[in-house]
Homo-oligomer: A and B are copies of this chain.
Amino acid sequence: MKKMYLGMGAAVEKDGRFLILKRSGSKDFAPNAWEIITGRLEEEESPDDGILREIFEETGLETEIIMPIETGFFYRGGKEFPMAYISYWCRYISGDIKLSVEHSQLKWASIEEILEEPTMTHFHKLFERILQLKRHLSSDFIFH
């Protein structure tokens, strides 16, 4: 058992479409690729609180968690940076998007569009699972 970093990602839904962001062209890694909102856990917060904070910091949007969907592990850069992650399905509540310098563009995309976007292949499993759940759950499903 070792310590590691914990990353979170969020597929934020609004009226059946999902927020995707285009990485700035000046990024060292994957410039101009489309992605979902991601961030890393600070100490003394739950992953749930962490992803809602990251969504707000990156976009200014208030959102709620529908449920965690997918987990994984990778080395970010090198062996000194072990990172587990949790990807969430979230729902827009309110707010207007203010993009940071990290991103050059945004889009509310359908799952079909995301599954056809070649720079988003590593998010496909997340969206395929959400698509499967949406066949069973009402559009306002939330844990109570």
Q: Which residues of A are at the interface with B, using a C-beta cutoff of 8 A?
A: 1-6, 40-49, 67-73, 82, 84, 86, 128-129, 132, 136-138, 141, 143-144
Q: How far is the CA of A4 from the CA of B83 in the complex (A)?
A: 10
Sample 18 A-B pairs with CB under 8 A, ordered by A number: A3-B5, A4-B5, A4-B41, A6-B84, A41-B73, A44-B82, A45-B73, A46-B71, A46-B72, A46-B73, A46-B84, A47-B72, A47-B86, A48-B72, A67-B69, A68-B69, A68-B86, A136-B138
B69–A47 touching, CB < 8 Å: no
Which listed residue, B40, B73, B128, touches A1 by the CB 8 Å rule? Answer: B40
9 more contacts with CB within 8 A, not counting A1-B40, A136-B138, are A4-B5, A43-B82, A44-B82, A46-B71, A46-B72, A46-B73, A68-B70, A68-B71, A129-B143
Q: Closest CB-CB distance, A57 to chain B, in whole Å? A: 13
Q: Closest CB-CB distance, A67 to chain B, in whole Å? A: 7
